[in-house]
Amino acid sequence: MSERVYQYVYGPVPSRRLGKSLGVDIVPYKTCTYDCIYCQLEKTTNKTTVRLDYVPVADVLSEIEEKLLTKVECNYITIAGSGEPTLHASIGEIIGKIKEKTNIPVAVLTNGSLLYLPEVRQSLIKADIVIPSLDAGNEQLFQYVNRPHQDISFDRMVQGLIDFSKQFTGHIWLEVLLVSGITGLAEEVKEIAALTEKIRLEKVQLNTVSRPAYEDFVSAVNSKQMKELAGLFSCPVEIIENTSLAELYDTSLSETTDQDILNLLARRPCTLDGISTGLGMHPHDVAKKLKSLLDKRLITASRAEHGLFYKTTETNHS
Ligand code: SF4
C-alpha cells in the first residue's frame, strides 16, 4: 500500500469527457459561486465570489511534481474538484507552473461564472482546454438551476463567456447539462443554442445527470431526447453518453489501493457509487475495501438524505 496521502491531487480517474484525468482540487469542499440543483456533492456550504488562495500554491505544485515523478499516465491534468476552481486567486500561476513541468495538456472545468472578471479570463489563458458551463438560456432558469451568488446575474455570466472566448486561443468545450422537464425541453434548449452562437467554441458537450443529484426532483434526459435536443444547435455537439459505470472500469486503473480510497475520502465524503465512479473501480471491489477500512476504523459511514456516505475518521472540510 502506498503511504503517500495526497491532499490536492487525485486519480487518474476515468472521465466521460477527458479520458484518463489526473485531478487537481484547489478549493475547499463546496466552496462555489453556485448551488446547482444537480450538484452531485452536497449543498454549497460556502457560496461566495471572493477569490483567495484557498489552498497553498506551493503545496499543490509539490504534490503535482511528486505525482509526475511516479510517471503517472493520463490524458489531461484537470483542474476541477469539489468547488469552483476559478475562486482560487492563483489559479493562473498554478496552470503556468504545471505547463513548465510537463507536456500533459491542462484542462480546467469551471462553471464559468467568474469569467466576467478580466483577471479570471487572464488567469486561464495558458490552459489547453477550458470547459465552462451554460445550463440555462435565461435569467429565470439560471436562478432556478444554478442558484448563483447574488453578485452573478445571467447577463453578466453570459457576457463573461463571450468575452473569454474572444480572448482565449485554446480549445473551449462548452458543457450544457440538461435536467429532465426543466432545461431538457426544446424551447429552453433553443434559447441556450442561440447564445452559443455568440461564443467562439469548438463544440458543445451535451450532458445530463448521471449520478445522484443533491435535489431529489432532478432526473436525467433520456438518450432519445438528448439526440433530438442536440439537433437544435448549429455548432458541433458531442453527446456525453450516460455510460454505465461498468463500461468505465479500466483495467489499468484497477489496482486501486486502500490509500487511494482514503485520499479520496479525505477530500470529500462519498457514497460507494461515488467512490466507484471516482476511482474507476467495480462496486464489488469498493465494497470489499470499504469493509476492511471500516474494520480498521480508518473510515466511518453515516446515512444522509442522499445515501450512505463514507469519510475518513480525520476528514476535515474546513
Ligand atoms: S458549479 Fe459544480 S460544484 Fe458548484 S454547485 Fe454547481 S455542480 Fe456543484
- Across the range 190-215, mean pLDDT stands at 91
> 308: which strand partners?
303
**For ligand 1, is residue 36 a contact (CB within 6 Å)?**
yes
For 260-288, how does the pLDDT look when each residue is reduced to its tens digit (9 = 90+)? 888 888 877 788 877 887 777 777 788 88
Task: Please state, in angstroms and as integers, the Cα–Cα distance from residue 95 to each residue in 24, 64, 82, 85, 293, following that order.
Answer: 11, 11, 18, 11, 35
Residue 242: pLDDT band (50, 70, 90) is low
The answer to whether 276 and 244 have CB atoms below 8 angstroms apart is no
Residue with the larger pLDDT of the pair 26 and 268: 26
**For ligand 1, is residue 83 a contact (CB within 6 Å)?**
yes
- Across the range 135-153, mean pLDDT stands at 98
CA–CA separation, 207 vs 167, rounded Å? 26
Residue 212: pLDDT band (50, 70, 90) is low
**Which cell numbers in the block locate residue 198?**
455568440
For 39-61, how does the pLDDT look when each residue is reduced to its tens digit (9 = 90+)? 877 789 899 999 999 999 999 99
CA–CA separation, 173 vs 142, rounded Å? 19
- The length of the chain in residues reads 318
Look up the pTM and report it.
0.82
Please provide residue 58's backbone torsions phi and psi, each rounded to the nearest 5 degrees.
-60, -40
- 191: pLDDT strictly greater than 70: yes
Of the options 3.90.470.20, 1.10.10.10, 1.10.3720.10, 2.40.128.260, the CATH number for the domain spanning 245-313:
1.10.10.10
Tell me, rounded to whole angstroms, the distance of Cα 303 from its chain centroid: 24
**For ligand 1, is residue 41 a contact (CB within 6 Å)?**
yes
The minimum-distance atom of ligand 1 relative to the CA of 146 is 6
- 238: pLDDT strictly greater than 80: yes
Q: Ligand 1 centroid to 134 CA: how many Å?
A: 12
The answer to whether 105 and 138 have CB atoms below 8 angstroms apart is no
The answer to whether 174 and 189 have CB atoms below 8 angstroms apart is no
- 13: pLDDT strictly greater than 60: yes
Ligand 1: which of 111, 149, 157, 211 to mutate, most ligand atoms within 8 Å of CB?
111
For residue 306, the model assigns a pLDDT of: 60
For residue 265, the model assigns a pLDDT of: 84
For 303-314, how does the pLDDT look when each residue is reduced to its tens digit (9 = 90+)? 765 668 888 886
For residue 208, the model assigns a pLDDT of: 93
**For ligand 1, is residue 32 a contact (CB within 6 Å)?**
yes
Q: Ligand 1 centroid to 295 CA: how many Å?
A: 33
For the domain covering 9-243, report its CATH number.
Answer: 3.20.20.70
Q: Where are the domains of the chain?
A: 9-243, 245-313
Residue 104: pLDDT band (50, 70, 90) is very high
The minimum-distance atom of ligand 1 relative to the CA of 82 is 3
If you take atom 8 of ligand 1, which residue's CA is the nearest one? 39
